[in-house]
Amino acid sequence: MNEFELIDVFLEAFALRPPPAGPGDDAAVLPPTPRAQVVTTDAVVEGVHFSRRTFSLGDVGHKALAVNLSDVAAMGARPTWALCALQLPVGVTASEVRALSAGMAALAAAHGVSLVGGNVTRGRELSVTVTVAGEVPSGRRPLTRKGARPGHRVYVSGPLGSAAAGVEVLSAAAARGPGPVKVERAWDALVAAQRRPSPHVRWGLEASRFASSSIDVSDGLVQDLSHVCDASGVGVALTSGALPVLEALLLWCESERDVLRAALTGGEDYVLAVTVPPSRCRAFERRLSRLGFGAFPIGVVTKARGLTVDGRRFEGRSGFQHFGEGSARRR
């Protein structure tokens, strides 16, 4: 397939607007907007974020968009459009491209995101770089990492550590030998968290009515909260018993200590972590609960800098870094 045929195959699954609002011109044209916009870009790369043995191409397409939607969600914005830059190995087949596209298109449709353009190039490894924009609802401000004040409560939007355990499950399954990777049903939720994270877009939109700061947990809770602490000039005191985890994580881990480590440092959960002023906590919890969403209080913002867990200063590996030892150990 040549470049243009690949593009046509990739675009089949998407509901596209005609150019210049959709793909087909040198750039996509977007109408003026009276609202503030947020933009972000993130990539998933073969051999770094996934392997072809443990991820389907549909998973890859889903995840490449999901990690960006999570960033938009963290800003309290509603995702609007996306651009997708594909780097495809020579010899990629139409059905592979179709699978990749289907995974991304389904998630885009679920969130009302329009694919407005992109790019295709060759590369030795498969990589998908997505750019997503969102708009800040009128009358609201975008959430940022700055704004946490001592006394504000820290909440997360879902269970922690699942995606990191999912990597372990998949690695263990792959190590059992060649051929298709088979995973026991017991670990489905962990594997799903790794392959098909659900960006908490609606949660972030609701949180933006109440929260003082926000971040998405992509590199591990401790590391991501440390960014909030740095930007806001504060610290955080976490309560280990309050960290939400899946039952499957408890079963997978050999010790309580491993569970805690996964919850504190495991990357790629793509849940949101926000801080809420005490005066707004009750309304926040009520609102989220009325919508059927969890909002898990896990700690409190402190004047003292640094991060503590159950009163002890947290030391140790702080999350998922692509270039540090951590990442070499991870995959």
Residues 194 to 223 in contact with a copy of itself, rule: CB under 8 A: 214-216
Tokens at 105, concatenated: 């298109």
Of residues 219 through 278, those in contact with a copy of itself by CB under 8 A are 231
Q: Which stretch binds a copy of itself (CB under 8 A): 103-111, 261-269, 304-312, 317-325?
A: 317-325
- Which residue has tokens 């990539």? 43
Q: Determine the Cα–Cα distance for residues 271 and 124; give it in Å rounded to an integer.
A: 32
Residue 48 or 183: the one with the smaller Cβ distance to a copy of itself is 48
Does 157 engage in binding with a copy of itself (CB under 8 A)?
no
Q: Which is nearer to a copy of itself, 6 or 301 (CB)?
A: 6
Q: How far is the CB of 236 from a copy of itself (least distance, A)?
A: 17
What are the tokens at 55? 């991820």
Stretch that binds a copy of itself, among 29-37, 179-187, 233-241, 249-257 (CB under 8 A): 29-37
- Binding a copy of itself by CB under 8 A: which of 9, 11, 13, 38? 38
Contacts to a copy of itself from residues 110-139, by CB under 8 A:
116-125, 127, 129, 131, 133-134, 136
CA 74 to chain centre: 9
- Residue 320 and residue 220 in contact, taking contact as beta carbons nearer than 8 Å: yes
Residues 152 and 270 sit within 8 Å (Cβ to Cβ): no
Which H or E run contains 6?
A: helix 3-11
Angle at 167 between CA 254 and CA 39, to 5 degrees: 130
Exposure class string for 269-287: b at 16+ Cβ within 10 A, else e: bbbbbbbbbeebbeebbeb
Binding segment for a copy of itself among 169-177, 249-257, 298-306, 320-328 (CB under 8 A)? Answer: 320-328
Give the burial class of 183: count Cβ atoms within 10 A of its Cβ; 0-12 exposed, 13-18 middle, 19 or more buried. Answer: middle
Among 303, 305, 313, 322, binds a copy of itself (CB under 8 A): 322
Residues in 79-108 that interact with a copy of itself by CB under 8 A: 81, 83-85, 87-88, 90
Binds a copy of itself by CB under 8 A, chosen from 8, 12, 15, 41: 41
Query: 3-class DSSP state for residue 68?
Result: helix
Cα dihedral sign, 100-102-103-108: positive
Binding to a copy of itself (CB under 8 A) within 47-76 occurs at 47-49, 70-72, 74-75
Can you state the angle between helices 162-175 and 188-195, rounded to 10 degrees? 100
Is residue 72 within 8 A of residue 162, CB to CB? The reply is no
**Which is closer to a copy of itself, CB of 165 or CB of 274?**
274
Query: Is residue 8 a contact point for a copy of itself (CB under 8 A)?
Result: no
Do the beta carbons of residue 115 and residue 134 sit within 8 Å?
no
Give the shortest CB-231-to-a copy of itself separation in angstroms: 7
Q: How far is the CB of 328 from a copy of itself (least distance, A)?
A: 8
Instruction: Tell me if 4 contacts a copy of itself by CB under 8 A.
Output: yes
The nearer residue to a copy of itself, 286 or 331, going by C-beta atoms, is 331
In the complex with a copy of itself, the residue whose CB is nearer, 22 or 299, is 22
Q: Smallest distance, Å, CB 248 to a copy of itself?
A: 27
> Hey, is 50 helix, strand or coil?
strand
Selected from 16, 39, 174, 281, the binder of a copy of itself by CB under 8 A is 39
* Contact in structure between 203 and 289 (CB atoms under 8 Å): no
Of 54 and 144, the one with the shorter C-beta distance to a copy of itself is 144
Cα gap 87→128, rounded to integer Å: 6
